[in-house]
Amino acid sequence: MDTRFVHAGSDPRKQHGYVNPPVYRASTVLYEDIEAMDASQADPLKREMPVYGRFGTPTGRAFEAALTDLEGGYAAVATCSGLAAITTAILSFVQAGDHILVSDSVYLPTRKFCDSLTGLGVEIEYYDPCVGKDIDNLLRPRTRLVYLESPGSTTFEVQDVPAITGVCRSRGVVTVIDNTWATPAFCRPLGLGADVVVHSATKYLTGHADSILGAIVCTEATFATVRATAIRLGQCASSDDVYLGLRGLRTLGVRLRHHQHQALELARWLEKQDGVVSVLYPALPDDPGHELWHRDFSGAAGLFGLELDPRYRKPAVDAFLGELRLFGLGHSYGGYESLIVPADPVSHRLPGTWSGRGPLVRVHVGLEDLDDLKADLGAGLHALSEQRA
């Protein structure tokens, strides 16, 4: 995989010998003649070049080809953001009257989008991410799609992807899975039976907190549908952003392994600190999802959840967060910098999901020195301990 990260989507022979493809900033493309124009108009998926900037540039094609190779797919579609990849993938397969099942642990913007589909006549049902093969009991004649995210956002439940996709495939139900956390460095969901994989390439794929980008990787059976929907929705990614995504892929394996090393070390350290109830990280042997993670993943990203003692309330958590200097208070993750944000699984999950448990924060472990990160969190935990409910 390391070799493929370095070379996927790159052909210096077609780039005048240069290692990286140039950035094509383009809208209008001129055809050689009317026959070429007629041929492009006859292609509904607009896959041949040149056509028009909105349908892709050589830079974008290189990124799509690289990610397709790394995920083991048939073809990919680049989008303007991770959420755009999610919404495009879902809209490709559902219409009014359909029923879709969505993991209760999904990324909050995914949930908000799915909730909005009820206004278009789509019935949304959230399911326990740990349901496994019992997803069969939730499928209905009108179920068109099952959406997965493994591990889940903020609470990091690991789903039994082969069990769920196996049931769905036998019933003719499409499965879409968010692979942003693991990336193809650590998991390839198409090989586990998924039909479509979505990425917020903003995060680990780009890896430097300087791009907004999404991607959808498809099987041969699903690509035409997704590509056609992307065209109808006007989905496209800027050439500058896909260039940054392609550049990020080159170091993805190295970066993810170091993020894993940093996160695992810090997670083990945090488990021993006063005020910490648990660390939600599938790579830890006592994590509820560890067995499935060990089976289906080859590594763990640098993102985990930190559950604090229930006796602490918001003022105490605010004091903890306010004391931090290296862990930035900011959304997103996957860059070189460490980040932390409070999470609220009570208001955004099925009733009772987080009942009786303590405050939760989401931690992204960056590439700073581990001793410095421990010292930073130690200062925050000291501020936490000085607060009382």
What positions carry a catalytic annotation? Answer: 54, 107, 178, 203
Question: 3-state DSSP call for residue 80?
Answer: coil
**Residue 19 CB: number of other CB atoms within 10 A?**
10
d(CA 125, CA 205): 30
Q: And the tokens for 311?
A: 């006796």
Q: What type of residue is 324?
A: L
Which of 314-322's residues contact partners 24+ apart within 8 Å by CB, and which partners? 314/359, 315/387, 316/359, 316/384, 316/387, 316/388, 316/389, 317/342, 317/359, 317/361, 317/384, 319/383, 319/384, 319/386, 319/387, 320/361, 320/380, 320/381, 320/383, 320/384, 321/361, 321/380, 322/383
E runs forming strands in 116-169: 123-127, 143-149
SS (H, E, C) 6-58: HHCCCCHHHCCCCCCCCCCCCCCCCCCCHHHHHHHHCCCCCCCCCCCHHHCCH
Q: And the tokens for 274?
A: 């006063």
User: Is the distance from CB of 208 to CB of 336 less than 8 angstroms?
Assistant: yes
d(CA 368, CA 261): 12
d(CA 149, CA 143): 18
329: buried, middle or exposed (CB in 10 Å: 19+, 13-18, 0-12)? exposed
Q: Are strands 75-79 and 196-200 parallel, antiparallel or unpaired?
A: unpaired
- Counting Cα atoms < 13 Å in the Cβ hemisphere of 68 gives 18
**Helix H or strand E segment including 378:** helix 370-385
Question: 3-state DSSP call for residue 100?
Answer: strand
CA distances from 3 to 44, 68, 69, 341 (A): 34, 15, 12, 35
